[in-house]
Chains A and B, each alone.
With several copies, the nearest count.
Chain A
Amino acid sequence: MTAESALSVTSPDYSVLVVDHFHRPRNAGEFPPGPGIRRTQAGNRQAGAEVSLSVRIAGDTVAEVRFQAFGCPHFLAATSLATERLAGMPVEALGRWTAGELGRELGVPVEKRGRLLILEDAVRAAAQ
């Protein structure tokens, strides 16, 4: 064996922001179906990450977002934080939304960045 890196500790470290959103998720839940409410879904439980968003649109703006999520702390926190960031955004912007900045802000480790694509999918799906 020559594994140089294997000596480092790989314990998951969660940033303060992740811990905050994990414990006090913002906008958990869903809106009852109705006009101006869009529901999107991405991922699945077997793969370890699933999210459903419930987006209230007012005109061409995102008024409010609620979420339900199953996943690791980073995924839950990213979803919760996204609901805050999305509110007030033009609906058409959802289609090009990327999770990269959120990931950096939350300190999501590289090997988990892929999971954020599931969140991206759910957000982008709300553009239509």
Chain B
Amino acid sequence: MTTAAAPGTSSVYLDYAATTPVDPRVAALMCECLQSHDLCGNPSSTGHAFGRRARALVESARRQVAQLLNARPETIVWTSGATESNNLALLGAARFNASRGKHIVSARTEHKAVLDPLKRLEREGFSVTYLTPDRGGIVHPEQVVEALRPDTLLVSLMHVNNETGVVQDIGAVGAACRQRGILFHVDAAQSAGKVPIDVEALGVDLMSLTAHKVYGPKGVGALYLRRRPPLGLTPLIEGGGQEGGLRSGTLATHQIAGMGLAFELAASEGAADSARVAALRERLWQGIGTVGGVRLNGHPQQRIAGVLNVAFSDVEGESLQFSLRDLAVSAGAACSSESEEPSYVLRALGLSDAEARSSLRFSLGRFSTEADVDFAIGCVRREVPRLRGLAPGAAAPAS
């Protein structure tokens, strides 16, 4: 058996929610770090200039990331990405503070990087209430409040959903938690740089961040950790004592500097990006709509600009994906290991297995163009009717 050649490089990238291209300005800075002899030191080697220069970059990046959240720099702990940040926040806070209560509230539509650590905590004796969102994907703050118990230690709710782009009302949940002294963790992997964030105003205690959804590099992230009053965490990775002992391991200067610049650019350009991307998304939605039998998954307004999750009726999911393979879009759970299962997020919104399987996530970003969108519309308008026409019950083509 010969395997078909990979689709041509003419494909169009519409998978910004899985990961973004690195902004050329960020890449340039990172290359400079990687190539500069002066910056080659270990940021912990502050006994010499090579280390101190590297450390200065790390600390300046800490300020850049903090700034986007309206936080103080010392609240930022570097990690390898939002998956690690979520694990550190949830496992760390729950284990350290277990004496305060062993109940946790979260939602069924969270990323696996929240759900899996919560499952581990369940095995360690915690109990978790998983809220079901409404059909639009919204978890209502009242639902959270109703789920709270006297022994509730922690609430974890994502800011923006990675599959649907739906935005949760984090501020209302934060206020409710703060009032009751309950810890509040937010997975902001998909929202940072796309939605304004003010950790103080939102009442957030712990927030997970990653660089590679905001035009920064993969493999670096951060955990925002409220410092006043101090919040105890049991570290996941120890030895060396970096990051105040909360996260040991040599700091990756180029990665951190890249994340810093990416967050600074998000602060200055994020709003303009969003406006432009919203217009492109609208164009895409109108264009796709012409094939009929499509439905938007997730709340139509309470959403970020760049994500369009569409259910196509009367087409089988895998064939839909394959027929559109010149479009780099996502089916099912994105940014996680590939799986044959239909998206549990869409299932939680009430879609059937088949509907979930026939849904595609188009996600756009800073470098998306009208040409990209028009190419995507063209593919959809060619392939979706073709597949539908092949199916039993379709009007027979003239033969």
Residues of B within 8 A of A50 (CB): 391-392
Within 8 A of B (CB), among A8-47: 8-19, 22, 25, 28-30, 32, 41, 45-46
Pick the residue among B3, B323, B399 that contacts A29 (CB under 8 A).
Answer: B399
Picked from A2, A17, A29, A71, the residue with its CB within 8 Å of the CB of B319 is: A71
B230 at the interface (CB under 8 A from A): yes
Partner of B392, one of A1, A22, A68, A106: A68
CB-based contact B319/A9 at 8 Å: no
Over the window 74-113 of chain A, the binary record of Cβ atoms lying under 8 Å from chain B Cβ atoms (1 yes, 0 no) is: 0010000000000000000000000000001111000000
Interface membership of B397, Cβ < 8 A: yes
The reply to whether A45 and B354 form a contact with Cβ atoms under 8 Å apart is yes
A-B pairs with beta carbons under 8 A, tally = 111
Given contacts A2-B231, A16-B3, whether A10 and B46 have CB atoms under 8 Å apart is yes
A73 touches which of B46, B319, B399 (Cβ 8 Å): B319
Contacting pair B46 A9 (CB below 8 A): yes
Indicate if the CB atoms of B47 and A70 lie closer than 8 Å.
no
The interface stretch among B107-115, B139-147, B243-251, B294-302 is B243-251
B175 contacts chain A at the CB level, 8 A cutoff: no
The answer to whether B390 touches A69 (Cβ under 8 A) is yes
Q: For the complex, is B198 an interface residue (Cβ under 8 Å from A)? A: no
Report which residue of A4, A7, A16, A28 has the largest number of chain B beta carbons within 10 angstroms of its beta carbon.
A7
A7, B316: Cβ atoms closer than 8 Å? no
Q: Is the interface of A mostly helix, strand, loop or mixed?
A: mixed
Q: Which residue in chain A gives the minimum CB-CB distance to B318?
A: A72
Query: In the complex, are the beta carbons of A46 and B354 less than 8 A apart?
Result: yes
Are B394 and A6 closer than 8 Å at their CB atoms? no
The yes or no answer to B235 lying at the interface (CB within 8 A) is yes
| Contact bitstring B371-399, A, C-beta under 8 A = 1, else 0 | 00000000000000000011111101101
Whole-angstrom distance between the Cβ of A71 and the nearest chain B Cβ: 5
B392–A70 touching, CB < 8 Å? yes
Interface check B101, CB cutoff 8 A? no
Answer whether residue B59 sits at the interface, using C-beta atoms and an 8 A cutoff: yes
Interface contact A22-B323, CB-CB below 8 Å: yes
Nearest residue in A to B394 (C-beta to C-beta)?
A68
Q: Note all chain B residues with C-beta closer than 8 A to A62.
A: none
List residues of chain B with CB under 8 Å of any chain A CB: 1-4, 46-47, 52, 55, 59, 74, 227, 230-233, 235, 241, 243-246, 314, 316, 318-319, 322-323, 337-338, 340, 354, 357, 389-394, 396-397, 399
